[in-house]
Structure 1
Amino acid sequence: MRVIGGIWRWRHNPLRRTTDLVEAWVALCALLLILLAAPVVGSLTAAVAQDALQRSVLAQHAARHQVTATVVRKVDGPLLEADPEIASGRDLRSRVIADWTAPDGTARHGAVLAGLESPHRGDHFAIWTDTHGRLVARPLDSVTATTHAVLAGFGAALLSAGVVEAGRRLIMWRMVRRRYARWDQAWDRAGPDWGRTGTGS
């Protein structure tokens, strides 16, 4: 509102310079772009990101399979950190040697991380594999994908607003420099004795 008030104040002011009015209009345009264009950019970015991420979710769920593994023995060592993709973040994981059957029917054997605090021989736990039984990361879920898309939209909106504000500041900086250059030229034309009585007579 201060921008609009500034434009209105300069409309019929006899002290108004052209640059004053231009500055007010630049500020108003920047404000409108931040309020209108930045949210649109954010929404479009979020929509594109959501579409791409949801397609990725579908592709990952089609290519990755959850299978049940059986503990053969525990690998000595300390408990490892919690799985970052588990919501609680409190589940410690142990390294074990396990057997599992791949989705294509082949038997697999190897070291894996189990979400078991005290694994014993014969314990069962879930792991994610590809079609051939190779270990893969947990597939992205739809809620996480939506969260990433929303964050991308917010980031794009903030970046757009920052670009507009940077453009406004650049324009203002150039206008101020031009104004100072004109003042210097005016002072040079006035000469060193502009205030003396009888100057110019």
Structure 2
Amino acid sequence: MRAITGLWRWRHNPLRRRTDIAEAWTALVALVLILVAAPVAGAVTGLLTHDALQRAVTAQRESRHSVTATVLQRYDKVPVDPDPETSSARDAHRRVLASWTAPDGSGHTGTVATGLESPRPGDRFRVWTDAEGHVVGGPLDTATASTHAALAGFGAALCCGGLVEGGRRLVLRRLVRRRHARWDQAWNSAGPDWGRAGTGA
């Protein structure tokens, strides 16, 4: 911010260097990009992600079906080969052997997770399957899709701002190196005679 105010302050300053002006302009351009480009990038990313996720929600709702399953047997221990897509440590004690009828009318039996607190044979619960009756996860809901899209847009805005700030710092580093190199050149040309009588120093 101080570099931006320097654009005004250094207008008629006889001590200003070209690197000072370049530094101030770099800071000003970076600020404008962060205030304009980052929100635009976030909004565009959020909208594109939202559209893609809403299409996914629609496709999942068309291809996944909620059917009623009946508990045949409760597992007190974790099955030997649980389904990795539907298993987790917290629901291991709620896994049961169940039967259900697929949307195409075929009967199925398998190990599934249930939300029942104390499942017993004969208890009924809902599971999500595809058209052939294979157990799948529930479809993504609209609210979750919107939340993911908002997070994607926010992340894109942060990344854009970070890239702009990183670019500004790289430019500033080069300007400082150039400034130091010029100081070294000026010192080398004046250094041997610095402070000696009659040298004008």
* Amino acid paired to 1:51: D
Distance 1:138 1:50 in 2: 19
Is the alpha carbon distance of 1:55 and 1:93 closer, same or farther for their aligned partners in structure 2, counting shifts above 3 Å? Answer: farther
1:124 equivalenced with 2:124 (yes/no): yes
Q: Which among 87, 90, 100 is matched to residue 81 of structure 1?
A: 90
* Amino acid paired to 2:197: T
CA contact (8 A) 2:100 2:107 kept: yes
Q: How many pairs were matched up?
A: 191
| 1:137-148 superposed matches below 5 A | 137-148=137-148
| 1:178-193 superposed matches below 5 A | 178-193=178-193
CA contact (8 A) 1:71 1:97 kept: yes
TM-superposed deviation, 1:5: 2.3
What are the superposed Cα offsets for residues 45-91 of structure 1, whole Å, 9 maximum, x if unpaired?
00110011111111111111110001111112279515xxxxxxxxx
CA contact (8 A) 1:93 1:114 kept: no
CA contact (8 A) 2:4 2:27 kept: no
* Amino acid paired to 1:26: T
TM-superposed deviation, 1:2: 4.1
Distance 1:111 1:122 in 2: 15
Alignment RMSD: 1.8
* Amino acid paired to 2:160: S
TM-score by length of 2: 0.90
CA contact (8 A) 1:80 1:94 kept: no
* Amino acid paired to 1:121: P
Distance 2:73 2:112 in 1: 11
Distance 1:19 1:63 in 2: 62
TM-superposed deviation, 1:199: 2.0
SS of 2:32 mapped into structure 1 = helix
SS of 2:10 mapped into structure 1 = helix
The percent of aligned pairs where both chains have the same amino acid is 61
TM-superposed deviation, 1:139: 1.1
CA contact (8 A) 1:50 1:149 kept: yes
Which residue number corresponds to residue 88 of structure 1? none
